[in-house]
Structure 1
Amino acid sequence: MQKKIANILFSTRLTAVLFIVFAVAMAVGTILDRNMDTSPTPYTRQLIYNAWWFEAIMAFFVINFTGNIFRYKLLRKEKWATLTLHLAFIFIFIGAFVTRYIGYEGMISIREGATESEFLSQKTFITAYVVGDYKKNGVLQRYNFQEEVDFSPRLTNSFDETITYDNIPVRFKLKNFIAGAEKDIVPDETGESYLKIVEAGNGMP
């Protein structure tokens, strides 16, 4: 039984199947992200790149290439070229796992001749502060709430978390997600009156 499983895991047929599925998945992800500002988007991250099956493909790649090194006795001088190819793929997929679980993704703008020590993280969070009359040792307590999310207008977004502040449950629930939302004044006949002043640079009219 173990030999049969090993023959499947270390077979060149499995290698070919993994390459085909991997290539198709990458192509689909690229097509789904066309005309987007960035790639990958939350949609393709959840659908493909962060999906368990995509990570399973890379794990099977590592198992397959590692097994082939010993199965075909590649640890020999005359097999160094094939061994190098197998090791290269193994390190590529290990690097992908490191990037996925340990690395950071983000954007940074560096002008010519300038240096930067901060970057804008790719991750997004829901952040809230709960402030009430709850005191501890005479000090007013504030509850800081932060949860990582990955919303997209192409996904069925949901978020529902409940915390406890001074033994009182506080619920955070997503009502609607609006991509690229900006805070602005919306005209309404029944609304309040506001005066909007627009200035040029340096406060000059």
Structure 2
Amino acid sequence: MNKYFNYFLSVNFAVVLLCFFAFAIGIATFIENDYGTTTAKALIFNSWWLELCLILLCCIFIYNIYKYKLHKIQKLPVLLLHLSFILIIIGAGLTRYIGKEGSMRIREGSLNNQFVSETVFLDFKFHDNKTEYVGQKPLLLSSLSNNKFIIPIKFNQNEISIEYVDFIHDPVDEILLNQQDGDDFIELIFPKENGGMKSEYIIKNGIRRFQDLDFSFNNQSGDIKIFKTDSVFQFVSSYDVSFMKMSDQSNGLLNANQTHIFNQKTLYTINGKNFVFKNYLTKGLLIKKSNSIKNDNSKIDLLKIKLNVNDLDTIIDLYGYKGLVSPKTYLSLNGLFISLSYGSINYSLPFAIKLKDFQLDRYPGSDSPSSFASEIEVIDKDKKFDYRIFMNNVLNYRGYRFFQSSYDNDEKGTILSVNKDRVGTFVTYSGYLSLLLSVIFVVISRFSRFNLLSKKLK
């Protein structure tokens, strides 16, 4: 037993762990490039086995301090080197588990005392008209990782569970045809914001919202009511509609609140919004699929969960992504009132920040920004002071650090990165200081190997 114990705390095993750590970080770099930062975190950076590797390294360093009596003055450089790695590893752990990160948007002339979390949460609340149960679970989901989780909840006499079903990044609709229990759909084509076209589907008797307009199919509600009579498609619009036939480029204007033929291969425009009637599909099943396997934080995610309340369950779709405080989904199930959401959450600051002016400079003769800065005012009860945040000039106040990150497209607002990690930062920087001192003492200490070799050369 002692043989294995001594091996796992030996320098040789530490070398193996360091090589393994370097290999894992190298693989993570390729994963991050191909599949996104979130996937790299889920698979490697935040994995339990990488944490175990660092914990074992930390234990080996501590054990070797005792084993080789590094506390003696003659071995001070080696002691400082060991302490530096120990402190850096502990600091990283503190940063991960007790630190807070996020982003803060402020418009010119506005105040803000909240920032949006970097971490994504499943937020849930249960209410039975008397008491309520509130909870949050941090999540790190990706297209490649094992995302499964189950949250058991005991609320008064209610047995509740929230269970993972599926995760779809950048979900898009897809129709599976020739399904025995399928429904009828119409397929409309809309332009994408970043170019290209996308298909959207409306189920028979259903209604969906696209481009700030409500489209319905065989439903009396909506801004554009589409219906099928025998084999002819018609529509009634609450607004005037211009059209252009793609076959002969003929065009015209269709009056609002009148019935018109809904033709395929015709471009319709309502209030500057374009769409095309592409197809009519029968016996179809609408599903969601991922449009991109690379996790892009600017694109929305779909989290499917199964909610069970006293053996009665339902499947719920929750949409959200990092940086978005998603609207809540409300429902009642088995006598409980429930709210759920998936996405970032708001953290409150003990003070407020006002953006007085956002400044952006460009390179001469170019639209590329050369620098940008935020002139802010910190308001903390009766205390007020001005500050300028720009690249490499960080606001450090009451344990919070504010970095200039980005800005709004109209250049009338700023985006600040926020970090609250006083303890983790202090421990990590202490590790860096210890590492620097170890290098210095290697050079100047008369007991160091460097000094002994220099004496032999004289």
* TM-score w.r.t. length of structure 1: 0.68
Q: Which residue of the partner structure matches residue 169 of structure 2?
A: 179
1:117-163 Cα distance to aligned partner (Å, 9 max, x none): 533212222334556xx544xxxx66655433322233454466576
Correspondence 1:193 to 2:222: yes
C-alpha separation in 2, matches of 1:33 and 1:8: 34
1:136-192 Cα distance to aligned partner (Å, 9 max, x none): 4xxxx6665543332223345446657688967777565553435699528867265
SS of the residue corresponding to residue 82 of structure 1 reads helix
Q: What is the deviation of 1:46? A: 3.0
Correspondence 1:79 to 2:75: yes
Pair 1:86–1:145, CA change in 2 (3 A):
closer
Q: Which residue of the partner structure matches residue 69 of structure 1?
A: 65
Q: Which residue of the partner structure matches residue 58 of structure 1?
A: 54
Q: Is the 8 A contact 1:130 1:144 kept in 2?
A: yes
SS of the residue corresponding to residue 177 of structure 1 reads strand
SS of the residue corresponding to residue 119 of structure 1 reads strand
Q: How does 1:1-205 map onto structure 2 within 5 Å?
A: 1-2=1-2, 4-34=3-33, 39=37, 41=38, 43-108=39-104, 117-129=113-125, 134-136=128-130, 144=134, 146-155=136-145, 157-158=147-148, 176-180=166-170, 185=210, 190=217, 192-194=221-223
Q: How many residues align?
A: 188
More helix by share: 1
Q: What is the deviation of 1:67? A: 1.6
1:40-65 Cα distance to aligned partner (Å, 9 max, x none): x1x33332223221111111111111
Q: Is the 8 A contact 1:74 1:82 kept in 2?
A: yes
C-alpha separation in 2, matches of 1:122 and 1:185: 29
Q: Which amino acid aligns with 2:32?
A: D
Q: Which amino acid aligns with 1:24?
A: F
Q: Which amino acid aligns with 1:148?
A: P
Structure of larger gyration radius: 2
More strand by share: 2
C-alpha separation in 2, matches of 1:154 and 1:60: 27
C-alpha separation in 1, matches of 2:150 and 2:11: 46
Pair 1:55–1:174, CA change in 2 (3 A):
closer
1:95-121 Cα distance to aligned partner (Å, 9 max, x none): 122123222233345899x99653321
Pair 1:180–1:128, CA change in 2 (3 A):
farther
Name structure 1 gaps, 5 residues minimum: none
Relative contact order: is structure 1 or structure 2 higher (C-alpha 8 Å, sep ≥ 6)? 2
Q: Is the 8 A contact 2:42 2:142 kept in 1?
A: no
Q: Is the 8 A contact 1:9 1:63 kept in 2?
A: no
C-alpha separation in 2, matches of 1:28 and 1:180: 24
Pair 1:181–1:128, CA change in 2 (3 A):
farther
Report the RMSD for the aligned CA atoms in angstroms: 4.0
C-alpha separation in 2, matches of 1:111 and 1:189: 37
Q: Which amino acid aligns with 1:90?
A: I
C-alpha separation in 2, matches of 1:35 and 1:161: 31
C-alpha separation in 2, matches of 1:175 and 1:185: 27
C-alpha separation in 2, matches of 1:70 and 1:88: 16
Q: Mean alpha-carbon deviation: is it higher for 63-72 or for 162-171? A: 162-171
Q: Is the 8 A contact 2:54 2:89 kept in 1?
A: yes
C-alpha separation in 1, matches of 2:138 and 2:41: 14
Q: Which amino acid aligns with 1:56?
A: L
Pair 1:69–1:33, CA change in 2 (3 A):
same
State the identity as a percent.
30
Q: Is the 8 A contact 1:69 1:86 kept in 2?
A: yes
SS of the residue corresponding to residue 17 of structure 1 reads helix
Name structure 2 gaps, 5 residues minimum: 173-207, 224-237, 239-269, 273-409, 411-458
Q: Which amino acid aligns with 1:87?
A: L
C-alpha separation in 2, matches of 1:108 and 1:44: 25
C-alpha separation in 2, matches of 1:87 and 1:145: 38
